[in-house]
């Protein structure tokens, strides 16, 4: 595999791997015909909680444009060059929202140029770090307004958490008409619950995917995402699902083709068409009536067509089987970021963060970002503080070999 292949984030890794895909069924053939059709497919829409906004079930997430040129100059610049065409194709297919963050390199500026002249038809989500400086947060939002070439941001959120300073700044910005609705993104349901109970947010961003739920293994669902979404429904708070394709989709483990579970999955993908797995992830997320929409990282216009087609398809036994086989193959390497392990660590290592940065490095190919983020952790939170006691592993509801993965992460990121 070339350096470009190793460092790319394209979740179609297995689609382009080796020789041309062997799609031997009418199901795959039908999809191929639909993708090439000039007819505009249907998009479906849902009410986004008390915001009153009507959102397309699928929109664009821009995590591929993280802080640094993580893909290498060629792939990174190709993604940035493709982004306007990706937006064009999304709007053509009926998608009506984009979601990014000021920390995602220059995606705000690129999106702003791509949306010029059609701002009224698009819902903008963007974010800033919920730091401790109210005035800095206000300035950050004003920079985002300039980047998007707009007078207002529809949905502004604290990226990765909350602070009283963010609340103060967001309320001020809302009174000034610079933002319309306020939200939070994070990975831990309990933190969202705090904001819901305080009536602070109009919407949340939360990871939700088939693999993260862990119910397929009949283990305790420590993430409790579904109960969180039920509470959002009661509070009339919009739910935007992130990481619908697990955030782990580029499968390093898929190289181990001698492993029976992986070999079985790859054989089924070759037989039935890999696009059915991609769409299965999205259909499974959207089966939940308490989810309003999902943001999907799409790096080419073709991926937009492929993903948007999921809203018109029926979730079948084939799709469920592909998800089950994917989960069986991936589960031992996938941290759900539920943070169940954190209270058990006597050294206070930031386990979930470290494993997330490992995912950025190994699965996204975002190596420079992973290095930068790991470097920002306080010394006592890094892996060199780990004693190897294994209490985290005993607490993990999914049985991950956490200590081994932490040490691997430190070797990659330190």
What is the residue-wise DSSP string for 286-328? Answer: HTSTT--EEEEE--SHHHHHHHHGGGGS---HHHHHHHHHHHH
- As a whole number of Å, the CA-based R_g of the chain is 21
pLDDT at 217: 42
pLDDT band at 213; cut points 50, 70, 90: low
| CA dist., res. 149 & res. 305, Å (int) | 27
- 312 and 163 fall within a common domain: yes
Give the pLDDT band of residue 88 (cuts 50, 70, 90). very high
- Whether 177 and 76 share a structural domain: yes
In the chain, how many domains are there? 2
> pLDDT above 70 covers what percent of the chain?
82
- Domain check: are 251 and 361 in the same one? no
**CATH number, domain at 35?**
3.20.20.100
Range with top average pLDDT, 50-59, 224-233, 271-280, 360-369: 50-59
Question: Does residue 46 share a domain with residue 143?
Answer: yes
In this structure, are 19 and 111 located in the same domain?
yes
Pick the residue with more confidence: 348 or 253?
348
Residue 24's pLDDT is 33
**Shared domain check, 345 and 316:** no
Report the half-sphere exposure of 236 (CA within 13 A, side-chain side). 4
Question: Do 339 and 323 share a structural domain?
Answer: no
Same domain, 175 and 63: yes
What local confidence, expressed as pLDDT, does residue 248 receive? Answer: 62
The residue among 313, 332, 351 that closes a domain is 332
Q: How far is the C-alpha of 122 from the C-alpha of 96, rounded, in Å?
A: 5
Give residue 7's pLDDT.
35
Assess whether pLDDT exceeds 60 at residue 37: no
pTM comes to 0.81
Q: Are the C-beta atoms of 34 and 26 separated by less than 8 Å?
A: no
Average of pLDDT values for 268-288? Answer: 88
Task: Give the range of the structural domain holding residue 274, as residue numbers without chain letter.
Answer: 3-332
| Coil/strand/helix, residue 402 | helix
**Of the residues 283, 307, 332, the one at which a domain ends:** 332
Q: Give 362's pLDDT tier (boundaries 50, 70, 90).
A: confident
77 vs 116: which has the higher pLDDT: 116
């Amino acid at each position: 595999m070339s350096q470009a292949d190793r460092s790319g984030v394209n979740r179609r890794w297995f689609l382009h791997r080796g020789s041309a895909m062997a799609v031997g069924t009418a199901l795959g053939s039908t999809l191929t015909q639909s993708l090439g059709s000039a007819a505009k497919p249907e998009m479906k829409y849902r009410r986004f909680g008390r915001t009153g906004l009507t959102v397309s079930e699928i929109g664009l997430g821009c995590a591929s444009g993280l802080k640094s040129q993580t893909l290498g100059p060629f792939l990174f610049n190709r993604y940035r060059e493709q982004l306007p065409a990706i937006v064009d194709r999304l709007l053509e297919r009926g998608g009506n929202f984009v979601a990014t963050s000021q920390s995602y390199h220059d995606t705000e500026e690129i999106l702003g140029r791509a949306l010029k002249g059609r701002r009224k038809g698009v819902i903008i989500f963007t974010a800033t770090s919920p730091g401790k400086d109210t005035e800095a947060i206000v300035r950050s939002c004003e920079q985002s307004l300039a980047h998007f070439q707009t007078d207002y941001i529809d949905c502004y959120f604290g990226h990765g958490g909350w602070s009283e300073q963010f609340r103060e700044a967001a309320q001020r910005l809302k009174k000034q008409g610079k933002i319309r609705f306020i939200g939070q993104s994070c990975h831990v349901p309990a933190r969202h619950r705090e904001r819901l109970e305080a009536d602070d947010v109009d919407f949340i961003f939360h990871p939700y995917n088939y693999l993260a739920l862990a119910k397929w293994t009949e283990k305790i669902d420590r993430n409790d995402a579904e109960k969180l979404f039920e509470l959002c429904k009661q509070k009339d708070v919009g739910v935007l699902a992130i990481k619908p394709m697990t955030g782990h989709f580029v499968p390093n483990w898929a190289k181990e083709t001698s492993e029976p579970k992986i070999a079985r999955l790859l054989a089924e993908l070759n037989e039935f068409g890999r696009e059915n797995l991609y769409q299965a992830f999205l259909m499974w997320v959207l089966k939940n009536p308490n989810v309003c929409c999902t943001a999907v990282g799409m790096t080419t216009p073709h991926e937009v067509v492929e993903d948007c087609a999921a809203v018109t398809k029926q979730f079948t036994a084939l799709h469920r089987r592909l998800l089950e086989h994917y989960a069986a193959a991936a589960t031992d390497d996938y941290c759900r970021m539920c943070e169940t392990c954190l209270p058990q660590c006597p050294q206070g290592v930031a386990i979930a963060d470290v494993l997330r940065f490992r995912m950025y490095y190994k699965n996204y190919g975002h190596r420079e970002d992973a290095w930068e983020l790991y470097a920002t952790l306080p010394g006592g939170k890094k892996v060199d503080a780990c004693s190897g006691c294994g209490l985290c592993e005993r607490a993990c509801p999914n049985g991950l070999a956490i200590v081994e993965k932490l040490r691997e992460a430190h070797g990659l990121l330190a």
